[in-house]
Amino acid sequence: MKKLTKSVLAVVLSASFSVTYAQKAKTDTVKTKDIEGVVVTALGIKRDEKSLSYANQTVKSKDLNLTQNVDVKGAIAGKVAGVQLNAQAGSKLGDTGKLRLRGAVSLLSDDDPIYVLDGVVVDPNTIDMDNVESVNVLKGPNATALYGQRAQYGVVLMTLKKGVKNRLNVELNSTITVDKVARTMKYQNQYGQGYDGDSSLQTFVFDPSFHPAEWSVFDGMRYKAGDNNLADESWGAKFDGQDYVPWYSWWKDSPYYGKTAKYVAQPNNVKDFYENAVSLKNTISLSGGNDNYTARLSFTNLDQKGITPYTFLKRNYLNMNSNYKFTDNFNVDFVFNYLSGKVRGEFDDGYSNQTSGSFNQWFGRDLDIKKMKELKDLETPNGYHASWNWWGPDNWGSGIYEKPAFWFNPYTYMERYENFSLRDNLMFSVSPNYKINNNLSIRGTFSRRDDGNSFKYFMPYSLTKSASGTQGGYMDFLNGFGYSDSKRVEDNYEIRANYQNKFGKFDLNAFVGGIITNFNWSGSSAQMDVFGKLGQLIIPDVWDFKNADIAPTSNPYSYKKTTKSLFGTFSLGYNDFIYVDGSLRNDINSAYFNNNNSFITFSLGGSVLLHNLIEKNDLLTFFKVRAGIAQIAADISATALNPEFRYNSQPFKSGTKSYIIALQPTRYVDPNLKPAINQNFELGADLKFLKNRVSLSATYYNEKRNDEPIPVTVPSSSGMLDTFINSADAVRKGVELSLSGDVLKSSNGVNWNTSFNFARNKSTVERVAEGLNAINYGFAPAFGYVSVIQKEGMEWGQLVGNGFKLDANGNKILNANGTYAVEQNKYFGSVLPKFTGGFYNTLSYKGITLSAAIDFQKGGKFFSLSEQWGNSGGLLDATAAINDRGFNVRDDVSTGGGVHVKGVSETGTAIDTYVDAYTYFTQFHGNRLAEEYVHDASYIKLREMAVSYSLPKSLIGSKFQGISVGLVARNPWLIWVAKDNHHKFDPSEMSQAYGEDGQLPSTRGFGVNVKLNF
């Protein structure tokens, strides 16, 4: 570039982007190629990072798999700006949650991005991170436009490790990890099971005309009287350390028959239920090649025990990545990935589930969990499972009274209820490449993704005969079974031509191509309702639907979808200074109506390397500004516009004939329906300082989603329930910052590399529909406490429910008895955080490396149903706290007890009073008053940490390329949560968009890793 004493540079793109810069003459420039590397972008295209007009962050293998996890989502959490992980509890085996990129913008869905492995869209749960070389996250339409409609939620690109020429490498990688429960809720340990306070315990009086003869041994002993045995609450007697007859001593087959136990708290009974679970992960990989062939082959076996008894996950991974060069101009890439897996156990995290749904909502604080484990096979005289939650001696008699009332022994249930998820996932791609000349090449690809999933369950007779639902009791369990099989096959046929050339000071990279994608979904299911009152097996435990008294109807399905796409992109650079790039894609999508099924996606952007205008210096070594616009159309499910007829579960019988009844669809679809269109403007800058030791990147984006199709309710007289029309608009705006650098850098001393990222996003609903200003999103929790609402003019995902009624001064209005007055449909705030971020550090010294990843978020709301029921049932610490008068809140109000409440009456009169604990804590369910249990979702957590030592060559000799040993930790420390999150729920692991109904516990894991390289 010419030397200038004063210059003004103006570049104008159709995106209305301009840059002006003035600078004195320069004597030398920094060579950009020495600063910026090559990155993998959309469709697997390798680009010079300096030429990109959008934000880009790549995470390399050394930072991806600190703790030898198989989860790509957890591997990048906190390491990429604008990425929020909505994970699931670690006890929920095989469920990794989802990533949210740049908040949310669709009113109806909040889906995962697509995950692409070496050019093929895959299920991320089928990938072992040991095989991944790098991950690049594409956020926003500017980066994802080449993927078209299916990339509306973003793209996570994974690049596989490859073989190296003229070198054979064998790596053995073994990790053993022990997971344990991280936290439980905070329980009270002063009062036990029961309804009636101190009256819950009485003296047993044996009645020979009523009681079994063997119970005479209990005459005169203290026991739980009346309904206090079936009580699944802890409003019982205060612990006094005296003798009483526990549940397991009443049965003659019990080793503790006739014996008493001390009436004391069991502070760790919930924690002790969960086991220390050992996981083993072993990987062997072989890589190498010669001048014509390179390959890497790996096999991984994962054997993971769950912290919940009788649960496990087993997986085998097989991966291959190879290239064969037939001639100098012709070569073929081949990628293969296979997963076979099995998960055993029920991981229901809804209300009243048999583990956390009992422990945190309906339980007794005096229950000895070790006795439950020991006596999981204990039966009553009539062969029913003995339970802590039985009807009790005062309700003794025929029928249901020997059976459990509400709950089984959790060990009995988890062992006997068989529940399996099986998966079989195959992916492969074959890509021949032909180099026509130095500038032009052609590449074709055929790829297939074949996902098979199967779910099976078996409810045994031993459990169902102990249930009382069919006899007028509370437990509905029926001897039966069911299955659900599904298969998803995706075939891609792609061809593209790549062209690159230099014309003086200009360099051009471009390609055009086309792809046809065929989707096929099929499956079937037949399921008996084992949690109902009708339909069971005639001969117990003979698993054949012919043996069912009401045989389930098989529900097969099969549907298809095809997209045909043409695409192209170019990147034009001038003198290593200015770059302009653009892409265009046309998708024809069979899921839309034929009269309107062709859609355009495009992006246009530019970047300017301003450091090339200044003299070479050690302070500012790289300075790029970038901007761009983009548009992407939204995808839609294969059956969304072609509603299926619904069939009754049982045929209609008339005489000797049976008829299948089909119900007409109740949704009208606008025949002119079109996809939502996302339009985005993005502006940013990338800088490097101090000889490239410090990097700073900043991005601003403004994305609008227009005319999203939504269902709008119509009058029932129309014969329809709703109509599906283009209507909704939303917008999201935000900034992303990332800062990284080498704080310390030494060839033989201490090295310290650090990175920090921050993202702030605000998503706003601008329009719902004509005559409609709000729409429901997702599912509401049990009992309808809250809903997630998309409200016009408000932030995305408003948590709505009954709240405290306030006067004009913000005082809570109280009823005459001191309970709270209720305001219906109160808006508590968005479920989305205000900002997110992460902090990642690596310290190394002479073979010792310490790495740690921290992530955080501020804001967002969640609702806890477990906390509501835990308080209502007298389990949690608040229900036995000491009030400001120094007395337990359970003490009588007249003697100093009760919960202190302040507020005003409806007329404005000040009220300062005490309410008895039971009335106070049970008022919330009666009024569905949710606000007390809506909390701030802010947190800071240490997500992963690892320390390793690479043995020096002088110790390992010539047989090994390297040996390292290390310690790993997953989720070791939830550092901070908001003050109102009293029970320290991990907000990054909420099971639902609104919060939780019966959250399974978080886990923390510690392990040892050994790597051997030959």
The confidence score (pLDDT) of residue 22 equals: 33
For residue 69, which of 281, 299, 321, 320 has the smallest C-alpha distance? 281
Residue 12 clears pLDDT 80, i.e. is over it: no
Q: Do β-strands 114-117 and 155-160 pair in parallel, antiparallel, or remain unpaired?
A: parallel
Alpha carbons within 13 angstroms on the beta-carbon side of residue 993 total 24
What tokens were used for 980? 């109102």
Residue 328: φ, ψ to 5°: -65, -25
Longest dimension (CA), the chain: 113
Between these two residues, 121 and 667, which has the higher pLDDT value? 121
| Mean pLDDT to the nearest integer, 829-844 | 97
Q: How far apart are CA 945 and CA 968, in angstroms?
A: 6
Q: What is the 3-state secondary structure (H, E, C) of 878-894?
A: HHHCECCCCCECCCCHH
SS3 state of residue 877: helix
Alpha carbons within 13 angstroms on the beta-carbon side of residue 1012 total 11
Residue 10 clears pLDDT 60, i.e. is over it: no
Judged on CB neighbours under 10 Å (0-12, 13-18, 19+), 441 is: middle
Kindly report, residue by residue over 279-334, the tens digit of the pLDDT. Answer: 999 999 999 999 999 999 999 999 999 999 999 999 999 999 999 999 999 999 99
Judged on CB neighbours under 10 Å (0-12, 13-18, 19+), 297 is: middle
Residue environment code for 827-863, b if the CB has 16+ CB neighbours within 10 A, otherwise e: ebbbbbbbbbbbbbbbbbeeeebbbbbbbbbbbbbbb
Between these two residues, 901 and 165, which has the higher pLDDT value? 901
- On average, the pLDDT of the chain sits at 92
Alpha carbons within 13 angstroms on the beta-carbon side of residue 610 total 21
Q: How far apart are CA 323 and CA 164, in angstroms?
A: 11
The confidence score (pLDDT) of residue 398 equals: 67
| Mean pLDDT to the nearest integer, 691-710 | 95
The confidence score (pLDDT) of residue 65 equals: 84
Q: How far apart are CA 181 and CA 188, in angstroms?
A: 19
| Mean pLDDT to the nearest integer, 19-24 | 34
Kindly report, residue by residue over 431-475, the tens digit of the pLDDT. Answer: 999 999 999 999 999 999 999 999 999 999 999 999 998 888 899
Residue 17 clears pLDDT 80, i.e. is over it: no
Question: Dihedral of CA 589/591/593/599: which sign?
Answer: negative
Residue 36 clears pLDDT 90, i.e. is over it: no
What tokens were used for 817? 């008895």
Q: Please give the full DSSP string across 304-369, using - where no structure is assigned.
A: EE-SSTT-EEEEEEEEEEEEEESSSSEEEEEEEEEEEEEEES----STT-SSHHHHTTS--TT--H
SS3 state of residue 658: strand
The confidence score (pLDDT) of residue 1005 equals: 96
Q: Which of these ranges, 228-242, 395-409, 624-638, 892-906, has the smallest mean pLDDT?
A: 395-409
Q: How far apart are CA 966 and CA 851, in angstroms?
A: 11
The confidence score (pLDDT) of residue 246 equals: 98
Q: How far apart are CA 1002 and CA 69, in angstroms?
A: 16
Q: How far apart are CA 232 and CA 234, in angstroms?
A: 7
Q: How far apart are CA 702 and CA 916, in angstroms?
A: 53
Q: Please give the full DSSP string across 830-842, using - where no structure is assigned.
A: ESS-SEEEEEEEE
- Give the list of residues 6+ apart from residue 546 with CB closer than 8 angstroms, or none: none
Q: How far apart are CA 207 and CA 426, in angstroms?
A: 67
What tokens were used for 156? 């996570």
Which segments of 600-720 does DSSP mark as H helices, in order?
Answer: none
- Which residues does residue 287 pair with via DSSP β-bridges, in sequence order? 169, 296
What tokens were used for 1014? 């030959």
Residue environment code for 225-258, b if the CB has 16+ CB neighbours within 10 A, otherwise e: bbbbbbbbbbbbbbbeeeebbbbbbbbeebebee
Q: What separation in angstroms does the CA of 825 have from each of 60, 828, 931?
A: 47, 9, 11
Q: Residue 376 carries which side chain, given as an amino acid letter?
A: K
Residue 213: φ, ψ to 5°: -60, -35
Q: Do β-strands 962-977 and 939-950 pair in parallel, antiparallel, or remain unpaired?
A: antiparallel
Q: Could you state, in order of their start, the residue ranges of all structural domains in the chain?
A: 39-171, 773-945+969-1004
Whole-structure pTM value:
0.92
* 349, 353, 359, 364 alpha-carbon torsion, rounded to 10°: 170
Q: How far apart are CA 509 and CA 571, in angstroms?
A: 5
CATH of domain 39-171: 2.170.130.10
3-state helix, strand, coil in the chain (%, to 5): 15, 45, 40
For the chain, percent of residues with pLDDT exceeding 70 = 96
Q: How far apart are CA 62 and CA 134, in angstroms?
A: 9
pLDDT band at 649 (very low <50, low <70, confident <90, very high): low
Residue 33 clears pLDDT 60, i.e. is over it: no
Kindly report, residue by residue over 72-119, the tens digit of the pLDDT. Answer: 999 999 999 999 999 999 999 999 999 999 999 999 998 999 999 999
Q: How far apart are CA 14 and CA 846, in angstroms?
A: 53
Kindly report, residue by residue over 518-547, the tens digit of the pLDDT. Answer: 999 999 999 999 999 999 999 999 999 999
For residue 334, which of 451, 496, 163 has the smallest C-alpha distance? 163
Q: How far apart are CA 364 and CA 366, in angstroms?
A: 5
Quote the DSSP letter at residue 957. -
Residue 6 clears pLDDT 60, i.e. is over it: no
Residue 70 clears pLDDT 80, i.e. is over it: yes
Residue entry with tokens 């229950």: 367
The confidence score (pLDDT) of residue 268 equals: 97
Residue 358: φ, ψ to 5°: -90, -55
Residue 32 clears pLDDT 80, i.e. is over it: no
Residue 431 · residue 122 · CB < 8 Å: no
Residue environment code for 99-133, b if the CB has 16+ CB neighbours within 10 A, otherwise e: bbbbbbbbbbebebbbbbbbbbbbbbbbbbbbbbb
Q: Is 375 left (phi over 0), alpha (psi -120 to 50) or beta?
A: alpha
Q: How far apart are CA 42 and CA 507, in angstroms?
A: 20
Residue 853 clears pLDDT 50, i.e. is over it: yes
Q: How far apart are CA 568 and CA 154, in angstroms?
A: 19
Taken as a whole, the chain contains a residue count of 1014
Contacts by residues 251-256 (CB-CB < 8 Å, ≥ 24 positions apart): 251/378, 251/379, 251/380, 251/381, 251/386, 252/214, 252/381, 253/378, 253/379, 253/381, 254/375, 254/378, 254/386, 256/371
For residue 932, which of 810, 834, 807, 826 has the smallest C-alpha distance? 826
The confidence score (pLDDT) of residue 2 equals: 37
For residue 710, which of 646, 776, 762 has the smallest C-alpha distance? 776
Q: Please give the full DSSP string across 917-947, using - where no structure is assigned.
A: HHHHHHHHHHTTB-GGGEEE--EEEEEEEEE
Residue 663 clears pLDDT 60, i.e. is over it: yes
Residue 20 clears pLDDT 60, i.e. is over it: no
Residue 162 sits at the vertex; the CA angle it makes with 156 and 163, to the nearest 5 degrees, is 175
